[in-house]
Amino acid sequence: MNMKYDEIYKALKKDMKPSRYKHTMGVVETAGKLAEIYGYDVKKAKLAALLHDCAKGIPDDQKVAMCREYGVSITDAERGAPALLHAKCGALAAEYRYGVEDEEILHAIRVHTTGCIRMNLLDKIIFVSDYIEPGRDKAPHLKELRNLAQEDLDEATYRILEDTVSYLQSNPDQTIDPTTYQAYLFYKEERKGL
C-alpha cells in the first residue's frame, strides 16, 4: 500500500495543475485526520483522497467515451454537466490506470461528488474532506462544518448535502443528480429518526 501511494503520488503530481494538486493534498491531510478520529485505516483514507479527483483533467468528451467503454451508466444530470463524471471516471482511472483493487477506495471515489444513500465510513470521510479541506473558501458554513466534522461525521455529511442541494436549487442552470437528491433525503430521514 505504501509503495503504491508513493508511486501514484509522483505520477499525479506531474499530471495535475498546481491548484488541483493543492486541493488534493488538502483532502489527503483532512481525510487522514478524520480517519484517525473515526477509527478508519489512515493509509487507505489517504490513498482514496489522493485519487479522488484524478479524472478531473480528462476532457468531457473523453469522460463520456470512457463511461461508454466500461459500460458505466450516465445520468441526465451527468449528460447536462459532464464534469460530474469525474467521479465515476476517477474510480475507473484509479482501478485501470493506477491499479487500485480495493473496492472501498474505488467506491469512495465513485460517489465523492454526489454522495449516495448509506455511505460507508470511507465514503463519508472523503465526501466531507473534499468539502472542508483547508484550501476551500467559497462554500457557506465552512468554519462550522470543519468543527462539526470532528464531532459528528453523519451530521456533517447531511449538512453538506443540504448546502449542496440548496446551492443547486438556487442555480437554474444546474440539474440536481438523482443520486445527490436521494442522498440528501436519506440523511435527512436518518437524522429525524435519531
Q: Which three cell numbers stand for residue 181?
A: 437528491
Q: Which does 24 bind (CB under 5 to 8 A by kind): Fe ion, ligand DGI, none?
A: none
One residue of 78, 95, 123, 130 binding Fe ion per CB under 5 A: 130
| Spatial distance between the Cα atoms of 61 and 153, rounded to a whole number of angstroms | 35
Min CB(164)–Fe ion separation in Å:
12
| Spatial distance between the Cα atoms of 160 and 139, rounded to a whole number of angstroms | 9
Cell numbers 447531511 correspond to: 158
Of the candidates 91, 151, 154, the residue with the CA atom closest to the CA atom of residue 119: 154
| Spatial distance between the Cα atoms of 121 and 153, rounded to a whole number of angstroms | 9
Query: Going residue by residue from 94 to 123, which x/- string records binding to ligand DGI, judged by CB under 6 A?
Result: ------------------xxx---------
State which of positions 119-178 bind ligand DGI (CB under 6 A): 130, 164, 168, 174-177
In the complex, which residues of this chain contact ligand DGI (CB under 6 A)?
A: 23, 53, 56, 77, 81, 84, 112-114, 130, 164, 168, 174-177, 180
